[in-house]
Structure 1
Amino acid sequence: MDIRIVSTKNRIQGGLISVIKQKPLYQIKDKDIINEAEVSAASYYKYYRDKSQVLKDLETELIKQFSTALYADSKGWLSLKYGPNKKEISNRIDNNLSNLIAFTSSKKEVITVLISKNGDPAFKAKMLELTAAVIKRLLIRFFQIYDQLSRLDGKSLK
């Protein structure tokens, strides 16, 4: 993709984040984003239909990156064939959270704004749902390792 397009879209998304810091999402107008991003209306509407499309584009990319980090870090846990001791668990925690920590560190401000009271409650729900799915897989794997899977039969993991 052309660097100018990426730059313009990033400015528009950054404008949205800046405006969300000032007022709730439902009060934001396209004009607010255009002014904050310092782009022309023509540029804005060339790439986005409205604020909801800007939000969707931004959140889709964040969820994709979050998912990639979460699943990359969970591979080390899911590959276990035996019950690790405390030292191995400690080492796995140190070595298998790096992607998630790097993602959250680099996107901290944007994530904080999106899950704030002015942001999008659906975004927070998506992130929690994704995290819960990975945790569920990890719990099932540990029940398998310890030959306790039968204890889960007929019970749902919450």
Structure 2
Amino acid sequence: MKKQPEITKQTKQNLSDAFWQIYCEKRIEKITVKDITEKAGYNRSTFYEYYTDVYDVLEQIEASVLPDIEKHKKITQIKSIHFPIRHLVEVFSKNKQYLIVLLGKNGDPAFRDKMKNTYKDLVRPILQSTETDDYILEYGLEFAMSAIIGMITYCFTTEEQPDIERMAQLLSSFMSNGLLKSPEFVKKTGQKSD
């Protein structure tokens, strides 16, 4: 007898939710399949129908919050250097519960690089159309994506109700003008831009 797809989907989601609740409190090395199945109310064999181990659950959650490059190719056709900021903020807002943990101090250290590399792959085609050599392009992408992801992570992990619009504008200003020459910084500090 074949299981109904909606039951299968719900079972997998229940196991994933149980893992996530535990992961928010424990590092992955400390989580066992038994912990997950007890919390979700299933047996071990049910767990293994959907996942190979606890790391597989984490990988599937991470994959679900990273953008699918094929689906997001249309955003690479926007000819504005600021589009990734808006898009990243939307991704963060939608997946806040996961990203705060994954990018936080107890999260998966490799996830930040996965996210950075995914966005580099999305932005690279736009910037390759400029007259920039590969060395400058790659260092520029690393700088931009590190700054963007770092600032968005900081915003979402330090503010209960972040002012997303203000943060996105500030980030755009920093990326366009640099920190010391951004209008917001100059206004607050009284520094004069050159």
Say whether the 8 Å CA contact 2:77–2:126 is kept in structure 1: no
- Residue 32 of structure 1 is aligned with which of 18, 32, 35? 35
Match of 1:18 in 2: 21
Change (3 A) 1:155 1:112: closer
Say whether the 8 Å CA contact 1:11–1:37 is kept in structure 2: yes
Q: Work out which structure has the larger RCO, using CA pairs closer than 8 Å and 6 or more positions apart in sequence.
A: 1
Change (3 A) 1:16 1:109: same
Say whether the 8 Å CA contact 2:15–2:36 is kept in structure 1: yes
Q: Given the alignment of the two structures, is residue 50 of structure 1 paired with residue 53 of structure 2, yes or no?
A: yes
Q: Given the alignment of the two structures, is residue 109 of structure 1 paired with residue 97 of structure 2, yes or no?
A: yes
Counterpart Cα distance in 2 of 1:123 and 1:13: 18
Q: Quick one: which amino acid aligns to residue 108 of structure 1?
A: K
Counterpart Cα distance in 2 of 1:47 and 1:132: 31
**Which structure's residues are more often helix, by fraction?**
1
Residue 153 of structure 1: how far off its partner (Å): 6.6
Across the aligned residues of Structure 1 and Structure 2, the Cα RMSD in angstroms comes to 3.0
- Structure 2: 5+ residue stretches without partners: 140-194
Counterpart Cα distance in 2 of 1:51 and 1:26: 9
Change (3 A) 1:55 1:109: same
Counterpart Cα distance in 2 of 1:35 and 1:49: 17
TM-score normalised to structure 1 length: 0.68
Q: Quick one: which amino acid aligns to residue 103 of structure 1?
A: V
Q: Quick one: which amino acid aligns to residue 37 of structure 2?
A: I
Q: Quick one: which amino acid aligns to residue 74 of structure 2?
A: A
Aligned counterparts, 1:1-158, within 5 A: 2-63=5-66, 65-67=67-69, 70-77=72-79, 93=83, 100-141=88-129, 143=130, 149=131, 151-152=132-133, 157-158=138-139
Q: Quick one: which amino acid aligns to residue 152 of structure 1?
A: D
Residue 22 of structure 1: how far off its partner (Å): 0.6
TM-score normalised to structure 2 length: 0.57
Counterpart Cα distance in 2 of 1:35 and 1:157: 46
**3-state SS, counterpart of residue 157 of structure 1:** helix
Change (3 A) 1:36 1:28: same
> What is the number of residues matched between the two proteins?
136
Change (3 A) 1:68 1:100: farther
Counterpart Cα distance in 1 of 2:68 and 2:96: 12
- Structure 1: 5+ residue stretches without partners: 78-88, 144-148
Residue 129 of structure 1: how far off its partner (Å): 0.9
